[in-house]
Structure 1
């Protein structure tokens, strides 16, 4: 019996171009949305691509985001949320529009991929809300951009302090 390599979620989705298309379609929707437009109206022209590259990297793709931003890539990403005071309705709308965009562009919709993709987004957006309530960036050199594979559950993680390190038991 042949032993086949299981693709990463990034590979299964179709590569970086798919994630770039996803965020392009998504941010058009965001800028037309009454709840989210005010949060994103001043985003840089590169924002969409940075988000695409971050998602791709988390889903075990190439480290495009880390290479673009440098050694403090996680601190940079978390820093974008500090003090924004994001709300649960905004988070839910963000998720809704991103998943609508995923359907629109034909991102794989098999149960395995979508459960992995949605699990990461749920986890990440909830951490973003927590970070947005802070006045200082809690990321340290010990923290790292998470990798999210098939069927993984992250945690338990400490929200204030080290976001991306396991709690001591």
Structure 2
């Protein structure tokens, strides 16, 4: 089988429609969560769509987030000075993965391993970038996640 016949993680999970459903439902749940609701108290109505577009691009889908919102540097800017902590990060992960289960996103080990790998990496990076003194590299490339490999801005 050639590499072109292997679907991207984006295709495997159901594309933009699946990611939009995931982020919409997830952020509804966030608003009801005692630990996360304060973090997202000022979240705009378009936040779930922005996150869905970001995830789509990271997982091999269209580059809409980069073209419309400024790519990875803009995502980093959204986390500056938010003072996120590990308990919030862990709850964010738990709630997002539970929402993926509820909505029936693929649960095969290969897909979930890749998805969890990105979410762990990205959420830990968000915590780091939320601390005092963090800055944005305006040239930071968009991370790209695939089947068993990562191509992030901090990886060779």
| Smaller-chain TM-score bracket | over 0.9
**Which of structures 1 and 2 has the bigger CA Rg?**
1
Q: Cα gap change, 1:57/1:76 in structure 2, threshold over 3 Å: closer, same or farther?
A: same
| Total equivalences in the alignment | 155
Higher RCO structure (Cα 8 Å, ≥6 apart): 2
Cα deviation, 1:85-136, whole Å, max 9, x if unaligned, reads 1000000000000001000111000001000000000000000000000345
Partner of 2:86: 88
In the aligned structure 2, how far is the partner of 1:106 from the partner of 1:139? Answer: 36
> In 2, distance between residues paired with 1:111 and 1:136?
34
What SS is found at the alignment partner of 2:38? Answer: helix
Cα RMSD for the two superposed structures: 1.7
Cα-to-partner distance string for 1:53-101 (whole Å, 9 max, x where unaligned): 10110001111211221xx322211011000010000000000000010
Residue matched to 1:114: 112
Preserved CA contact (<8 Å) 2:89 2:127: yes
Gaps of 5+ in 1: 156-163
TM-score normalized with structure 2 length:
0.93
TM-score norm. by structure 1 comes to 0.86
Question: For each residue in 1:10-50, what CA deviation from the matched residue of structure 2 results, as whole angstroms up to 9, or x when unmatched?
Answer: 00011100000000110011010111100101011110000
Contact 1:91–1:126 (CA<8 Å) still a contact in 2?
yes
